[in-house]
Amino acid sequence: MVCIKAFKAVRPSEEFPDKVAALPYDVMSSEEARIMVENNPYSFLHIDKAEIDLGQDTNPYDKIVYEKAKENLNDFIDKGIFVKENKECLYVYRLIMQGRVQTGIVFCASVDDYINNKIKKHEHTREEKEIDRINHVDYCNANTGPIFLTYKNSEEINLIVEQWINSNETLYNFKSEDEITHIVWRIENEEVVNKLIKLYENIPEVYIADGHHRCASAAKVATIRRNNKVNFKGHEEFNYFLSVAFPHKDLYIMDYNRIVEDLNGLSVKQFLKKIEEKFSINIYQGTGPIALIKRGTFGMYLEQQWYELKIKEDLINKNDLVKSLDVSILQDYLLKPILGIQDPRKDKRIDFVGGIRGLKELEKRVDEGMKVAFLMYPTSIEDLMSIADIDEVMPPKSTWFEPKLRSGLFIHELE
């Protein structure tokens, strides 16, 4: 059972959604963000990554960045770029990518459900990233980016959503620069809102798909404000965080690939020999892009050549959900023992590339200076839910969801 609520959203006025909507703050660097906002003063990145409006040498975690984010948010409101609803609503948010449809509901979820693990996690968080979002939320006095949640498909919820969108006009309907269609409907009818709230109360498990740092930060901001509140009641807005929940059947997880800058002092010959102790290696002979067709198989790009690596069957721990994941296998049998990557969350020698960027990005990064790239078989949404159900966590960078939710379409004020 989870508790959700409608909220008075701060959102773009009807003429600005396509200009405001931006990719999540953590999928691009500050340099990339500066380029993305050129000729677009309305981009939400001016709020989500406010260092782009300061000097090039500005530390993105400096106090002045959060002050600038608050200033920009207030400026967007003052200029009418953002408007505020006069009543609490829910929203339907649909994304269409290459014919695939993903339809979710925007609401506020309970901080207590996160703290009490009713909203299940599958990743560890990093303290410095939490602190960044704590400051951002606290200075802006708002959740500025939605947490991406999922749940096992509910036909009852689906029916209400389909009935609503078939009989009501859209609030927003636009195509982003990456050719993804974004459609939003507002649900202001109290009877329908209450029906959906009741149905979510009966959902047995809700999972974080993406946004662990934003979720942890929202909970910590709430805890701080609770401690500072003289007459804490429990229903204050800071006790809830902005969320979008999609049925698991709609979600698409792509490969989340690895690139490493060196071979840990090994020659190419030595490196390949060590790999052969745990994997079978074949030079990829295909004329097109390397195709991974099953779990336990990896693509490796080294010195302008693709290889196919297959873990030896007897090494797979099929009784351990986490250890049997491809991201665990690569880490445990290659990245750690051979390349010396002890902690991929902290090691500066490794980087991660979402599958949406394609094989050419892996080849480009290696050809331009990195040493080796690994192409992964995608983790499944069933893996994610099964691991969260037993209160375990997956290795870092296990999932890359597409399409990405846009930030800036909905803002939840905390007070």
For residue range 131-159, list pLDDT tens digits in order. Answer: 999 999 999 999 999 999 999 999 999 99
Residue 263 CA to residue 260 CA, distance in Å, equals 8
pLDDT of residue 270 exceeding 80:
yes
Predicted local distance difference test score (pLDDT) of residue 104: 97
DSSP E strand stretches across 296-379: 297-302, 305-311, 350-354, 372-375
Predicted local distance difference test score (pLDDT) of residue 287: 59
Residue 380 CA to residue 262 CA, distance in Å, equals 30
pLDDT of residue 1 exceeding 80:
no
Domain annotation covers residue 271:
yes
pLDDT of residue 187 exceeding 90:
yes
pLDDT digits (tens, 9 = 90+) for 82-99: 999 999 999 999 999 999
Residues 225 and 281 in one domain: no
**Which are the contacts of 309, defined by CB distance < 8 A and separation ≥ 6?**
275, 279, 280, 281, 297, 298, 299, 300, 334
Domain annotation covers residue 395:
no
| Residues β-bridged to residue 351 | 259
Residues 208 and 228 in one domain: yes
Residues 218 and 265 in one domain: no
Residues 372 and 340 in one domain: yes
Confidence of residue 22 (pLDDT cuts 50, 70, 90): very high
Q: In which domain, by residue range, is 32 found?
A: 4-252+402-413
Residues 314 and 270 in one domain: yes
Residues 30 and 130 in one domain: yes
Q: Tell me which H or E stretch contains 268.
A: helix 268-275
The first and second tokens of residue 331, run together, are 């880490």
pLDDT digits (tens, 9 = 90+) for 30-46: 999 999 999 999 999 99
Domain annotation covers residue 79:
yes
Domain annotation covers residue 383:
no
Mean pLDDT of the chain: 94
Domain annotation covers residue 394:
no
Q: Contact 354/254 with Cβ under 8 angstroms?
A: yes
Domain annotation covers residue 397:
no
Residues 242 and 272 in one domain: no
Number of domain units in the chain: 2
Q: Tell me which H or E stretch contains 209.
A: strand 206-210
Lowest pLDDT segment from 50-54, 188-192, 398-402: 398-402
Predicted local distance difference test score (pLDDT) of residue 51: 97
Residues 222 and 268 in one domain: no
> β-pairing, 147-151 with 240-247?
parallel
Percent of the chain's residues with pLDDT above 70: 98
Predicted local distance difference test score (pLDDT) of residue 292: 60
Mean pLDDT calculated for residue range 53-70: 96
Residues 72 and 207 in one domain: yes
Mean pLDDT calculated for residue range 249-265: 95
Confidence of residue 230 (pLDDT cuts 50, 70, 90): confident
Residues 344 and 406 in one domain: no
